[in-house]
Amino acid sequence: MSPKNVIFKKMAKDKSVGVYMAKRDFVDRVDSVDPVDGVILVDPEVLKGKKAFVQLSCTFRYGRDDMDVMGIAFRREIYMAIRQVYPPMQDREQSTHTKMQGKLLRKLGDNAFPFFFEFPDNLPCSVGLQPGPKDSGKQCVVEFEVKAFSAESQEAKVRKRSTVHLMIRKLQYAPENSGTAPSGKTTREFVMSDKPLHLEASLDKEIYYHGEPINVCVDVTNSSNKNVKNIIVSVDQVATVVLYSNDSYVRAVALEESGDAVAAGASLKKVYTLTPLLICNRERRGIAVDGKLKHEDTNLASSSIVKEGVLKEVLGILVSYRVMVKLIIGGEVGVELPLTLMHPKPDLASWKRRWCLRSSSAPT
């Protein structure tokens, strides 16, 4: 999360406009989303009669800007809203929505003007697919941006020197109420065996926090005449690009090939512990990660929670997780357990701080 009591400031090169914001992380609670608010500082002498605007946009990129060929852009604007802040369209007090805006206005003076945006309820969260070690430039990503600029009008050509960009993030936190702990079972019968092989697996809860170990209870009853040669347990990330291709990327972000065997007529009950971390998947192309701000680290992407009735096609990239338990017997016998991997609300736990400490101390 953005640090408290810190003001994020960025000025255009020609000093005509500048953006001031108290935070860059905005929380999606499924039924509501934090509004985006801040203050624009203008210099009327530099503007020379031009107007000042502020824009909030959500963009889906699936290639670098310099890869645009024959007018085909490798980006799509999912959402865009623009407000004129100077000359002001209404009284400053009527446009001021937060205490922080009021403090900034008093500090910055008469040439500062507030802005306020509300997110629609159908926008995705900040997420991207990790590029490979040899990839360069921006890859597949959903990103949010606040942009301030000065121009003769909203439709006029805007000079780069008169524009300032500030990246922000839209995040989700784990819901307070967890569902039933996932469990699953399967039975495999064999032609040359009178009795079957039975597999049960379960988790101790549905929602896990980033950096938290996941305990998988596996119970094998092998009444058949086949030998189980190995038990493989993995946490898989499923990232589906729903906006333009519906491609799915399935990656094991934590894996244990136990080597445990279960002979014919024997049984085994054991708990396997796996901890999915980005630090262990840094070089792997296609791993989904939470959106990050410049110079900040990130983590594996959080599970996507979609509001009922929202079209998934406009959500860019959807992320889910599952535990897979496989018994190797020449072929495979397996069960799948869905789970949710997210950050807790900051006032409920300190898992984010623990994860940051773990990331900084882990070997690269």
- Residue ranges and CATH numbers for the domains of the chain are 8-172 (2.60.40.840), 183-344 (2.60.40.640)
Q: Which of 11-20, 94-103, 308-317 has the lowest mean pLDDT?
A: 308-317
Whether omega before 87 lies within 30 degrees of 0, making that bond cis, reads yes
Q: In whole numbers, what is the pLDDT of the chain averaged over residues? A: 85
The Cα 35–Cα 97 span in angstroms is 10
- Average pLDDT on 323-333 reads 93
Residue 347, pLDDT score:
63
Judge contact between 54 and 86, C-beta under 8 A: no
Residue 56, pLDDT score:
96
Q: Look at residue 130 and tell me whether its pLDDT is greater than 70.
A: yes
Residue 136, pLDDT score:
60
Residue 31, pLDDT score:
74
- Read off the pLDDT of residues 231-272 as tens digits, 9 standing for 90 and up: 999 999 999 888 766 778 899 999 999 999 999 999 999 999
Residue 284, pLDDT score:
85
Judge contact between 215 and 201, C-beta under 8 A: no
- Average pLDDT on 167-192 reads 89
- Read off the pLDDT of residues 16-37 as tens digits, 9 standing for 90 and up: 999 999 999 998 877 778 899 9
Instruction: Label the pairing between strands 288-290 and 127-129.
Output: antiparallel
Read off the pLDDT band of 2 (50, 70, 90): low
Q: Look at residue 168 and tell me whether its pLDDT is greater than 90.
A: yes
Smallest Cα–Cα separation from 345: which of 181, 215, 207? Answer: 207
Instruction: Label the pairing between strands 207-209 and 331-342.
Output: parallel
The Cα 85–Cα 101 span in angstroms is 14
Smallest Cα–Cα separation from 181: which of 339, 329, 360? Answer: 339
| Whole-structure pTM value | 0.82
Read off the pLDDT band of 323 (50, 70, 90): very high
The Cα 148–Cα 95 span in angstroms is 17
Exposed e or buried b for every residue in 100-132, given b needs 16+ CB within 10 A?
bbeebbeeeeeebbbbbbebeeebbbbbbbbbe
The helix or strand, by DSSP H or E, that contains position 339, with its residue range, turns out to be: strand 331-342
| 267: Cβ contacts below 8 Å, ≥ 6 apart | 219, 220, 221, 222
- Average pLDDT on 28-50 reads 89
Read off the pLDDT band of 295 (50, 70, 90): low
Read off the pLDDT band of 359 (50, 70, 90): very low
Judge contact between 17 and 52, C-beta under 8 A: yes
HEC letters along 180-225: CCCEEEEEECCCCCCCCEEEEEEECCCEEECCCCEEEEEEEEECCC
- Average pLDDT on 129-152 reads 81
Residue 358, pLDDT score:
46
